[in-house]
Amino acid sequence: MIDAIIAASLRRGELLPETFPDTRDPVRPFYDALAASDPAVIAEVKYASPSGPTGATLPPGLLAREMAAGGAAALSVLTEPTVFGGDPSFIREVKRYTDLPVLRKDILVHPAQIAESRHIGADAVLLIAMVLGDDLPAFVNHSFACGLEPVIEIADEVELQAAVATGARIIGINNRDLRTLVIDPDRASRLGPLIRSYGRIPVAMSGIMAPDDLRRYRGRCGAFLIGTAISSAEDPKSATEAFVCM
């Protein structure tokens, strides 16, 4: 499944123009938003996954407004269209409803997709270590050059070392295995303190379904990315509050 998503993303990247205007502004405040909040909840606008629809019903702008009202420190917006039901236009829509900094969540594999991310209004981009391999440092540098905060996603100690060798200030630990989709909640507990010891912000990602799940990472991770549990909630504002008011 992940290989098909990567191939589709490469095809999308190849269709983009090589340059976009407005790619050299200073990095926007995604980092500051996480550093200033405890717990820093990154609420994710997520409509589907390889497992099927999440059940989210509000359109992206209204969903984002509820998440902001519930106290989210920042937002993540899935823009991948083939499996996750996303679209790059969601970022602009979300930005019309909230001032919160926004992470573009996608399988980014082409340099033009980084410049595009800035152009469509993102403040940060997800760079997946497993997907980018040896290209990771170049994508980190390109993100900073485009005025974007790179957030590297890792799954193990080897990828952690590759991430800290770059200048990235935020490193996410995905508890979900991208190939098997199985969640291992101990990943973020184990790797979070190690990332902290390098002076970076560790973000626990995936499988955080209830406030108690977040509690296990307190003190070990600095931020918490929550998709399905908030996006699919009947009342996304209250669902966000429940995580923020831990």
Interface residues with ligand LARABZUK (CB under 6 A) are: 44, 46, 49-51, 105, 176, 178, 181, 205-208, 225-229
Q: Report the nearest approach of ligand LARABZUK to the CB of residue 21 (Å).
A: 29
Nearer to ligand LARABZUK, 20 or 176 (CB): 176
Backbone phi, psi, residue 41, to 5°:
-95, 125
> Which residues are CB-contacts of 48 (< 8 A; sequence separation ≥ 6)?
54, 83, 84, 85
Q: Report the nearest approach of ligand LARABZUK to the CB of residue 179 (Å).
A: 8
Q: Report the nearest approach of ligand LARABZUK to the CB of residue 19 (Å).
A: 28
Give residue number: closest CB to ligand LARABZUK. 227
Q: Report the nearest approach of ligand LARABZUK to the CB of residue 95 (Å).
A: 20
Nearer to ligand LARABZUK, 31 or 243 (CB): 243
Nearer to ligand LARABZUK, 33 or 229 (CB): 229
Q: Report the nearest approach of ligand LARABZUK to the CB of residue 22 (Å).
A: 27
Of 122, 125, 133, 123, which is closest to residue 155 (Cα–Cα)? 133
Q: How far is CA 195 from CA 20, 103, 111, 224, in A?
A: 33, 20, 26, 14
Nearer to ligand LARABZUK, 147 or 221 (CB): 221
Cβ 172 vs Cβ 200: under 8 Å:
no
Cβ 233 vs Cβ 67: under 8 Å:
no
Q: Report the nearest approach of ligand LARABZUK to the CB of residue 84 (Å).
A: 7
If you write DSSP's letter for every residue of 105-150 in order, what string do you get?
ES---SHHHHHHHHHTT-SEEEEEHHHHGGGHHHHHHHHHHTT-EE
Nearer to ligand LARABZUK, 25 or 210 (CB): 210
- Residues 31, 25: Cα–Cα separation, whole Å: 15
Nearer to ligand LARABZUK, 63 or 147 (CB): 63
Cβ 222 vs Cβ 202: under 8 Å:
yes
